[in-house]
């Protein structure tokens, strides 16, 4: 269990160093913008899974979906803040779909 935390800390430290190298400066909350994308991709992956659990392939599909949406908005030349609003709406939609599917599965298992 401790090894998992050590690996997570090392990976996070490496990500922070790469982000600081990309920005060429230290910005305290620079990684804050990636949080919504990470949570959204995980929930999208859980929404498309049969058992409604987060999984790696589903999360990768969620990441690809959110990247396609972000790139599409960039190509259209729309406002940068609109990306976060749309990502939030996609996250709420994925959670609603997962909730409805879970409720239908629970009702279906009770009727059997």
Global confidence as pTM: 0.69
Provide φ and ψ at 87, rounded to 5°. -65, -40
Cα(79)–Cα(94) distance, rounded to whole angstroms? 23
Cα(100)–Cα(104) distance, rounded to whole angstroms? 6
Q: How far is CA 30 from the centre of its chain?
A: 17
Residues 6+ apart with CB under 8 A from 41: 59, 62, 63, 65, 66
Per-residue tens of pLDDT for the chain, all 112 residues:
899 999 999 998 998 888 888 877 777 777 777 788 888 888 888 888 877 788 889 889 989 988 888 888 888 888 877 877 887 888 888 888 878 877 877 777 666 6
- DSSP class of residue 26 equals -
């Amino acid at each position: 269990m401790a090894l998992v935390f050590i690996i997570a800390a090392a990976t996070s430290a490496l990500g922070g160093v790469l982000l600081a190298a990309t920005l060429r400066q230290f910005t305290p909350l620079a990684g804050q913008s990636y949080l919504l994308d990470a949570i959204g991709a995980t929930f999208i992956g859980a929404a498309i899974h049969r058992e409604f659990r987060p999984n790696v392939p589903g999360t990768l599909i969620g990441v690809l979906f959110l990247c396609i949406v972000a790139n599409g908005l960039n190509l259209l030349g729309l406002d940068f803040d609109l990306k976060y609003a749309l990502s939030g709406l996609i996250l709420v939609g994925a959670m609603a779909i997962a909730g409805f599917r879970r409720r239908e599965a629970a009702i279906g298992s009770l009727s059997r």
